[in-house]
Structure 1
Amino acid sequence: MSSAGAWSSGLLDCCDDAGLCCLTCFCPCVTFGRVAEIVSGGERSCGAAGAIYVLIAALTRCQWIYSCTYRARLRTQYALPDAPCCDCCVHLCCSPCALTQEYRELKARGFDPEAGWEANADKGNAPGAQQMGR
């Protein structure tokens, strides 16, 4: 389990989990939605976050601006470094890698992003659940 101040995996470790890598490359809205639901403490559902991501991508191709805000929230919640560069640059230049790193970070901290916020909160064993939401 990772501690405050350090990412549990590197930005370029995105292909360490082939399933997550493929999902994120072909459907980044799903990975983003799962991350956003956990990071927002259930305030934004996976479906809603993913739909907004797709809409922004379809209309402007600037979905990275939206997704980088959740990276910033995750970093703030766990005192993670703004590395290798600022959140917006990471998402602009390497969004799939950023999304998989954020997903892996949540898993390393005891969350199951695929299950959603409610399932994680109901388990009561998700570290930081009180800190991240309701």
Structure 2
Amino acid sequence: MSKLVIHQPQPMMDVQDSDEWGSGICDCCQDVPECCFAFWCCPCFACKISRDYGQCLCLPLLDTFGCIPPVTMSMRVSMRQRYGIKGTMCRDCVHATCCNPCSWCQMSREMKRRQIHVLLVGAKTT
């Protein structure tokens, strides 16, 4: 009798030396097409980044109900924790409220820079 052993692919993480954001909040010139997309259609851009991060596609649409965008702030906090970036919730709140499109652009650039593949547990391939 033989055993069949199946190994599941594991998430890959690049080791980063920095505990800072890879780009500043206003460094939109690093990725002009994404900056334009975020500026002209921030809700669509935020949904795309949310999906790429492994969250619900429509989650950022909840930001429209209030003066402080809770989803943008939560995504920034989550990203800081996942990537080990220093910062505060207060600063995340200010960026999410005052610079929403720039905040989403910064998160997008960080995801590209860190190149961490998201593992969706329970996802089925077709």
* Equivalent residues in 2 for 1:76-91, closer than 5 Å: 76-82=81-87, 86-91=91-96
Matched position secondary structure for 1:129: coil
- Identical pairs, percent: 25
Correspondence for 2:11: none
Deviations 1:1-31 (A, max 9, x none): 7825121111110233221111101111122
Distance in 1 between residues matched to 2:26 and 2:75, nearest whole Å: 19
Matching residue's letter, 1:66: V
Shift of residue 87 of structure 1?
0.8
Moved >6 Å (runs of 4+): none
Distance in 2 between residues matched to 1:61 and 1:14, nearest whole Å: 26
When normalised by structure 1's length, the TM-score is 0.66
**Gap regions ≥5 residues in structure 2:** 1-13, 122-126
When normalised by structure 2's length, the TM-score is 0.69
**Gap regions ≥5 residues in structure 1:** 111-126
Specify which structure has the higher proportion of helix.
1
Give the counterpart of 1:49 among 54, 59, 63.
59
Report the number of matched residues. Answer: 106
Larger radius of gyration: 2
